[in-house]
């Protein structure tokens, strides 16, 4: 039997591609329109260099931080991602892996597992909510999250509802009826190990989103909940301030790419912001998160916790983000590929890769505490961060 361990996130991605159905993999790598922002999220990191030192490095590195009021063994948080049908244990497996590595978790409103199950697996959890439905329904969702033990609330606003993709959008069945599944039969048959993992677990991939409801209501199907989200008028900054007033813990606004809006988020009461273009699913052509991070961190870094989300694939990427002003990063696709490749152990593998990369990079540049990282440790090309709008 092949060794399930992988050495880099890129290898995890290749294994995930070979293991899961084509349509499921397509959903993981989807970006808006031509995928410009999605690709730039990754490639922008390649433009940043380091300034290594030759001697005098400390024997050990200090990498632990606090994120959203919770301890983290490294400056990394699990970003909330929707229906994790790459593996039968989905969000619960991710939460257990993160707990084993001392990492906080963000849980999506569109998760396939109830928040109560995920919180039991990792109580270092923040609940993510979209501005979807009326205020009463949103209050009910965050009330349920609070009752389940969620420590923080993440309001995600970085999505443009663009549907056109040059390579085609992944075909996702609305239900598991024979009619819905028939077009996907060959796709699933081609990945027998993935299909058998669901059979062994006594489950079928869920397309219902249990965290959209409270009480005994039947969870809506994915596209029903998605339709509610799409049909809800976008929030104003006054709406953001109202939602913040309903939550007494850490509160993140996710999706900031402009310094002026970072300031608006702070003024609305946010205790954290995530510099993010939703993994390339905002307006295509939006800058890579790392490109605008320095400008935003300079504007509000003294007033709010600044996280970066988008394109992180290596521990060295984490170090670059912290050197340019982030307090921590969120990871999404990286851990999903680990989950698809090898379940809970695969997620732990990804987190170990990031830890090792952070440690090795800090050693190479002679920095022994993550809080001491600065722009002096990296080489950034001219014009990397665009001027304020």
Going by the DSSP 8-state scheme, the letter that residue 120 receives in this structure is: H
Q: Name residues whose C-beta falls within 8 Å of residue 67's C-beta, 6 or more positions apart in sequence.
A: 75, 77, 104, 305, 307, 327, 328
Quick check: 117 and 370 in contact, CB under 8 A? no
* C-alpha torsion sign, points 39, 42, 46, 48: positive
Annotated active-site residue 278? The verdict is yes
**Tokens for 249?**
């813990």
Catalytic residue from among 89, 163, 184, 278: 278
Task: Name beta bridge partners: 328.
Answer: 307
- The whole-angstrom separation of Cα 51 and Cα 351 is 25
Cα-to-chain-centroid distance, residue 225: 20
- The whole-angstrom separation of Cα 309 and Cα 286 is 14
- The whole-angstrom separation of Cα 190 and Cα 318 is 36
Q: Residue 124: left if φ>0, alpha if ψ -120 to 50, beta else—which one? A: beta
Q: What angle do CA 143, 147, 150 make, to 5 degrees?
A: 90
Q: Name residues whose C-beta falls within 8 Å of residue 144's C-beta, 6 or more positions apart in sequence.
A: 115, 211, 214
* C-alpha torsion sign, points 147, 150, 152, 154: negative
Nearest CA to 286 among 278, 294, 296? 278
What amino acid positions are annotated as catalytic residues? 278
């Amino acid at each position: 039997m092949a060794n399930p361990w992988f050495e880099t996130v890129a290898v995890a991605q290749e294994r995930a591609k070979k293991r899961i159905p084509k349509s499921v993999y397509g959903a993981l790598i989807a970006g808006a329109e031509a995928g410009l922002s999605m690709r730039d999220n990754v490639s922008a990191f390649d433009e940043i260099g380091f300034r290594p030192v030759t001697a005098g490095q400390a024997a050990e590195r200090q990498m632990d931080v606090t994120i959203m009021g919770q301890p983290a063994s490294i400056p990394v948080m699990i970003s909330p991602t929707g229906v994790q049908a790459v593996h039968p244990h989905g969000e619960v497996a991710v939460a257990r892996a993160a707990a084993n590595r001392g990492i906080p978790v963000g849980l999506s409103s569109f998760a396939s597992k109830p928040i109560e199950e995920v919180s039991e697996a990792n109580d270092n959890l923040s609940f993510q909510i979209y501005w979807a439905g009326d205020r009463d329904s949103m209050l009910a969702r965050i009330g349920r999250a609070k009752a389940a033990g969620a420590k923080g609330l993440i309001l995600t606003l970085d999505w443009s509802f663009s549907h056109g993709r040059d390579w085609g959008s992944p075909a996702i069945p609305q239900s598991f009826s024979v009619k819905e599944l028939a077009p996907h039969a060959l796709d699933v048959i081609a990945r027998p190990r993935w299909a058998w993992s669901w059979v062994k677990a006594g489950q079928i991939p869920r397309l219902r989103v249990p965290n959209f409801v409270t009480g005994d209501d039947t969870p809506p199907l994915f596209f029903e909940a998605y339709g509610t989200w799409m049909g809800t008028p976008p929030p104003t900054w006054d709406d953001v301030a109202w939602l913040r007033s309903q939550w007494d813990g850490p509160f993140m606004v996710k999706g900031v790419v402009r310094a002026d809006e970072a300031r608006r988020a702070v003024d609305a009461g946010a205790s954290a912001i995530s510099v993010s273009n939703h993994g390339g699913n905002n307006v295509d052509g939006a800058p890579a998160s790392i490109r605008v991070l320095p400008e935003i961190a300079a504007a509000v870094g003294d007033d709010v916790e600044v996280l970066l989300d988008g394109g992180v694939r290596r521990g060295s990427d984490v170090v670059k983000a912290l050197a340019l002003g982030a307090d921590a990063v969120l990871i999404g696709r990286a851990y999903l590929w680990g989950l698809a490749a090898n379940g809970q152990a695969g997620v732990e593998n990804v987190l170990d890769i990031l830890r090792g990369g952070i440690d090795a990079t800090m050693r190479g540049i002679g920095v022994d505490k993550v809080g001491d990282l600065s722009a002096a440790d990296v080489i950034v090309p001219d014009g990397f961060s665009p001027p304020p709008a």
